[in-house]
Protein backbone atom coordinates (compact mmCIF):
# COMPACT_ATOMS: atom_id res chain seq x y z
CA UNK A 1 0.00 0.00 0.00
CA UNK A 2 2.88 2.39 0.78
CA UNK A 3 4.28 2.03 -2.77
CA UNK A 4 0.88 2.89 -4.24
CA UNK A 5 0.67 6.02 -2.06
CA UNK A 6 4.14 7.07 -3.20
CA UNK A 7 3.14 6.43 -6.82
CA UNK A 8 0.01 8.55 -6.37
CA UNK A 9 2.17 11.34 -4.91
CA UNK A 10 4.38 11.33 -8.02
CA UNK A 11 1.30 11.41 -10.26
CA UNK A 12 -0.06 14.40 -8.31
CA UNK A 13 3.33 16.14 -8.50
CA UNK A 14 3.42 15.77 -12.29
CA UNK A 15 -0.20 16.91 -12.60
CA UNK A 16 0.64 20.10 -10.67
CA UNK A 17 3.75 20.73 -12.81
CA UNK A 18 1.73 20.36 -16.00
CA UNK A 19 -1.04 22.60 -14.63
CA UNK A 20 1.51 25.31 -13.81
CA UNK A 21 2.77 25.09 -17.41
CA UNK A 22 -0.72 25.92 -18.68
CA UNK A 23 -2.12 22.45 -19.36
CA UNK A 24 -5.63 21.38 -18.42
CA UNK A 25 -4.92 18.25 -16.37
CA UNK A 26 -6.94 15.27 -15.19
CA UNK A 27 -5.40 12.63 -12.95
CA UNK A 28 -7.21 9.31 -13.12
CA UNK A 29 -6.51 7.32 -9.93
CA UNK A 30 -7.63 3.90 -11.14
CA UNK A 31 -4.97 1.50 -9.88
CA UNK A 32 -6.69 -1.44 -8.26
CA UNK A 33 -10.16 -0.09 -8.94
CA UNK A 34 -13.03 -2.02 -10.47
CA UNK A 35 -12.98 -0.16 -13.78
CA UNK A 36 -11.38 -2.99 -15.70
CA UNK A 37 -13.46 -2.42 -18.85
CA UNK A 38 -12.53 1.24 -19.15
CA UNK A 39 -8.99 2.08 -20.18
CA UNK A 40 -7.36 5.37 -19.36
CA UNK A 41 -3.89 6.64 -18.49
CA UNK A 42 -2.65 7.98 -15.15
CA UNK A 43 -2.80 11.57 -16.41
CA UNK A 44 -4.45 13.33 -19.33
CA UNK A 45 -2.99 16.76 -20.12
CA UNK A 46 -4.47 19.06 -22.77
CA UNK A 47 -3.09 22.32 -24.16
CA UNK A 48 -3.65 24.14 -27.46
CA UNK A 49 -5.58 21.18 -28.86
CA UNK A 50 -2.90 18.62 -27.98
CA UNK A 51 -4.05 15.68 -25.87
CA UNK A 52 -1.26 13.91 -23.98
CA UNK A 53 -2.03 10.53 -22.41
CA UNK A 54 0.61 9.83 -19.77
CA UNK A 55 1.54 6.74 -17.76
CA UNK A 56 3.79 7.59 -14.78
CA UNK A 57 6.87 5.60 -13.71
CA UNK A 58 9.83 6.26 -11.42
CA UNK A 59 13.45 5.14 -11.32
CA UNK A 60 16.17 5.39 -8.71
CA UNK A 61 19.17 5.07 -10.94
CA UNK A 62 20.47 3.43 -14.03
CA UNK A 63 18.42 0.25 -13.88
CA UNK A 64 16.09 -0.34 -16.83
CA UNK A 65 12.40 0.39 -16.31
CA UNK A 66 9.97 -2.30 -17.42
CA UNK A 67 6.48 -1.34 -18.52
CA UNK A 68 3.84 -4.09 -18.64
CA UNK A 69 2.23 -4.57 -22.05
CA UNK A 70 -1.28 -3.94 -20.67
CA UNK A 71 -0.27 -0.43 -19.57
CA UNK A 72 1.06 0.40 -23.03
CA UNK A 73 -2.03 -1.08 -24.67
CA UNK A 74 -4.37 1.02 -22.52
CA UNK A 75 -2.51 4.18 -23.58
CA UNK A 76 -2.65 3.12 -27.24
CA UNK A 77 -6.41 2.55 -26.98
CA UNK A 78 -6.91 5.89 -25.27
CA UNK A 79 -4.90 7.82 -27.87
CA UNK A 80 -6.72 6.02 -30.68
CA UNK A 81 -10.03 7.25 -29.25
CA UNK A 82 -8.82 10.74 -28.30
CA UNK A 83 -6.51 11.51 -31.21
CA UNK A 84 -3.75 12.33 -28.74
CA UNK A 85 -0.12 11.38 -28.16
CA UNK A 86 0.93 8.69 -25.68
CA UNK A 87 3.85 9.10 -23.29
CA UNK A 88 5.55 7.36 -20.41
CA UNK A 89 6.66 9.97 -17.87
CA UNK A 90 9.62 8.91 -15.74
CA UNK A 91 10.58 10.70 -12.55
CA UNK A 92 14.25 10.27 -11.78
CA UNK A 93 14.29 10.00 -8.00
CA UNK A 94 17.07 12.02 -6.43
CA UNK A 95 17.34 14.54 -9.25
CA UNK A 96 13.66 15.46 -9.30
CA UNK A 97 13.83 15.51 -13.09
CA UNK A 98 10.96 14.28 -15.25
CA UNK A 99 11.60 12.69 -18.66
CA UNK A 100 8.98 11.79 -21.28
CA UNK A 101 9.10 8.98 -23.84
CA UNK A 102 6.69 8.53 -26.70
CA UNK A 103 4.90 5.20 -26.57
CA UNK A 104 6.27 4.33 -30.01
CA UNK A 105 9.86 4.77 -28.76
CA UNK A 106 9.63 2.01 -26.15
CA UNK A 107 11.78 -1.08 -26.64
CA UNK A 108 9.75 -4.34 -26.77
CA UNK A 109 11.05 -7.28 -24.74
CA UNK A 110 10.91 -10.94 -25.76
CA UNK A 111 8.05 -11.49 -23.29
CA UNK A 112 5.90 -8.81 -24.92
CA UNK A 113 6.42 -6.08 -22.33
CA UNK A 114 8.45 -2.92 -22.84
CA UNK A 115 11.76 -1.63 -21.55
CA UNK A 116 13.26 1.81 -21.06
CA UNK A 117 17.04 1.64 -20.83
CA UNK A 118 19.42 4.39 -19.71
CA UNK A 119 20.27 5.47 -23.26
CA UNK A 120 16.62 5.75 -24.27
CA UNK A 121 15.84 7.72 -21.11
CA UNK A 122 18.76 10.08 -21.76
CA UNK A 123 17.44 10.84 -25.27
CA UNK A 124 13.87 11.42 -24.08
CA UNK A 125 12.01 14.72 -23.81
CA UNK A 126 12.10 17.10 -20.85
CA UNK A 127 8.98 18.89 -19.61
CA UNK A 128 10.18 22.06 -21.34
CA UNK A 129 10.31 20.10 -24.63
CA UNK A 130 6.66 19.07 -24.27
CA UNK A 131 5.67 22.66 -23.56
CA UNK A 132 7.52 23.79 -26.72
CA UNK A 133 5.80 21.12 -28.79
CA UNK A 134 2.26 22.00 -27.71
CA UNK A 135 2.99 25.72 -27.93
CA UNK A 136 3.90 25.26 -31.60
CA UNK A 137 7.54 26.18 -31.15
CA UNK A 138 8.93 22.80 -32.24
CA UNK A 139 7.68 19.59 -33.79
CA UNK A 140 8.36 16.25 -32.13
CA UNK A 141 10.85 15.20 -34.79
CA UNK A 142 12.94 18.36 -34.27
CA UNK A 143 13.95 17.12 -30.82
CA UNK A 144 15.41 13.94 -32.25
CA UNK A 145 18.35 15.86 -33.69
CA UNK A 146 19.24 17.82 -30.53
Q: How far is residue 91's CA from residue 10's CA, in Å, rounded to a whole number?
A: 8
Q: How many helices (H) and strands (E) does the chain have?
A: 4, 9
31 is known as an active-site residue:
yes
Q: Phi, psi at residue 99, to the nearest 5°?
A: -125, 150
Q: How far is residue 104's CA from residue 87's CA, in Å, rounded to a whole number?
A: 9
Catalytic residue (choose from 31, 82, 128, 132): 31
The sheet carrying 85-92 orders its strands as: 24-27, 43-47, 50-59, 85-92, 97-102, 125-126
User: Which CA distances in Å does 124 have to 36, 82, 121, 142?
Assistant: 30, 23, 5, 12
* Catalytic residue annotation: 31
Amino acid sequence: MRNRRIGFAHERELAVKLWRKGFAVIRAPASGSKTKRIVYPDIVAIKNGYVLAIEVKTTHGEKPIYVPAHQVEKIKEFIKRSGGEGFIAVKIIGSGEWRFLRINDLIPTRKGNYKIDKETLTKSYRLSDLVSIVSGNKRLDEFLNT
